[in-house]
Amino acid sequence: MEPKIFLIDMNAFFASVEQSINPALRGKPIVVCGEGRTIVTAASYEARAFGIKTGSTPCEAKRLCPGVIIVRSDMNKYVGSSLNIHGILLRFTELVEPFSIDECFMDVTSLCRNGKTAADIAREIKKLIKAELNLLCSIGIGPNKVIAKLASKMQKPDGLVEITRADIPGVFETIPVEKLQGAGVGRKISEKLNSLGIKTAKELGQAGEDFMMFHFGISGWHLKRIGLGEDSSTVKEYSYSEREKSFGHSHTLPKNTFDLQTIRSYLLMLCEKTAARLRTAGMSGKTVHFYVRYGDFTGFGRQKSLKHHINKGLDIFSTAVDILEDVLPLEKPVRLLGVSISNLILENGQKFLFEDIERERKLTGIVDEINNKYGDFTIKPSSVLIAENFGIEDRCGLIGKYNFKGRKVSGLIGKNNLKIVE
Partner 1 sequence: MSTEKIGEPIDVGAVFGKNKIRPKWFVWNGRKIDIGEVTYTWKAREGDSIIRYFAVTGGATSFELSLNQKTMCWTLEKTNVE
Q: By C-beta, is 33 or 223 nearer to partner 1?
A: 33
Residue 74 or 167 with smaller CB distance to partner 1? 74
**Residues lying near partner 1 in the complex (CB under 8 A):** 17, 20-25, 28, 69, 71-72, 76-77, 80-81, 371-375, 378, 408-416, 418-421
Name the phi and psi angles at 41, rounded to 5: -95, -20
CA distances from 112 to 34, 47, 119, 184, 294 (A): 43, 38, 9, 27, 52
Q: Give 82 or 93: the residue with its C-beta nearer to partner 1.
A: 82
How far apart (Å, rounded) are the C-alpha atoms in residues 9 and 16?
13
The least CB distance from residue 2 to partner 1, in Å, is 39
CB of 249 to partner 1, least distance (A): 18
Q: How far is the CB of 340 from partner 1 (least distance, A)?
A: 23
Burial class (CB in 10 A: 0-12, 13-18, 19+), 37: middle
Residue number with CB closer to partner 1 (42 or 267): 42
Q: How far is the CB of 221 from partner 1 (least distance, A)?
A: 44
Q: Give the closest residue to 226 by CA, choosing from 171, 161, 289, 281.
A: 171
* SS3 call for 9: strand
Q: Is 178 a catalytic residue?
A: no
Among 93, 122, 123, 28, residue whose Cα is nearest residue 66: 28
Asked if 317 and 268 touch (Cβ cutoff 8 Å), the reply is: yes
Q: Which is nearer to partner 1, 18 or 315 (CB)?
A: 18
Shortest approach of partner 1 to residue 130 CB, angstroms? 14
Inter-residue contact 16 to 44 (CB < 8 Å): yes
Least Å distance, CB 133 to partner 1, is: 8
Phi-psi region of 158 (alpha: psi -120 to 50; beta: other; left: phi over 0): left
Q: How far is residue 227's CA from residue 216's CA, in Å, rounded to a whole number? A: 14
Smallest gap, in angstroms, from Cβ of residue 248 to partner 1?
A: 21
- Collapsing DSSP to helix, strand or coil, 12 comes out as coil
* Pick 36 or 411: Cβ nearer partner 1: 411
Q: Are 207 and 225 in contact (CB under 8 A)?
A: no
**Cβ atoms < 10 Å from Cβ of 258:** 12
List CB contacts of 249: < 8 A, sequence separation 6 or more.
270, 273, 274, 338, 339, 340, 396, 397, 398, 399
Of 406, 74, 53, the C-alpha closest to 243 is 406
Q: Which is nearer to partner 1, 98 or 140 (CB)?
A: 98
Catalytic residue selected from 18, 46, 97, 103: 103
Could you list the active site residues?
A: 103
